[in-house]
Amino acid sequence: MSERFFEITVFILGGMAYGLMEVLFRGHTHWSMVITGGACVLTLYLIMDWTMNLPLVVAALAGAGIITFYEFCVGMLVNVSFGWHVWDYSSMPGNILGQICPLFTGLWFAMCLVFFGLVRLFA
């Protein structure tokens, strides 16, 4: 299997997983979240060699930061620029422009902790 095919597969599976998490968490998702999820998971895959050399907590922090960065950028595009109102965290404490908040960054950290921990366990 070619590396490019594998990366596309990682993107698709990541997008599907992200979309499924949204459906389970809030009952619906938006196509932009599937693309965002694919980009997040593919990015985490592409930096796997780097994160495997970091302490697990630091790797999880990096992963949470990357996902939060994607969420902010996509939110500024789809919610602020396009006005699609895909999500709004403006009622959440510590939010930035209603696009990101500490609660969800913490959830991404927990998910990355599990994800990187499992990768290390089975790698």
- How many domains does the chain contain in total? 1
- Expressed as residue numbers, the domain containing 37 is 3-122
pTM value is: 0.94
What percentage of the chain exceeds 70 in pLDDT? 99
Q: Which of 122, 108, 107, 103 is nearest to 44 (CA)?
A: 108
How big, in percent rounded to 5, are the helix, strand and coil portions of the chain? 75, 0, 25
What b/e string do you get for 54-67 counting C-beta neighbours within 10 Å, with b at 16 or more?
eeeeebbbbbbebb
Per-residue pLDDT tens digits for 29-49: 999 999 999 999 999 999 999
- pLDDT band of residue 53 (cuts 50, 70, 90) is very high
Q: Averaged over 75-100, what is the pLDDT?
A: 97
Check if the beta carbon of residue 88 is closer than 8 Å to that of residue 101. no
The CA distance from 30 to 22, in Å, is 9
Whole-Å CA distances, 98 to 82, 85, 112, 122: 15, 10, 23, 37
- Looking at the predicted structure, is the pLDDT value of residue 63 above 90? yes
Q: How many CB atoms lie within 10 A of CB 98?
A: 16
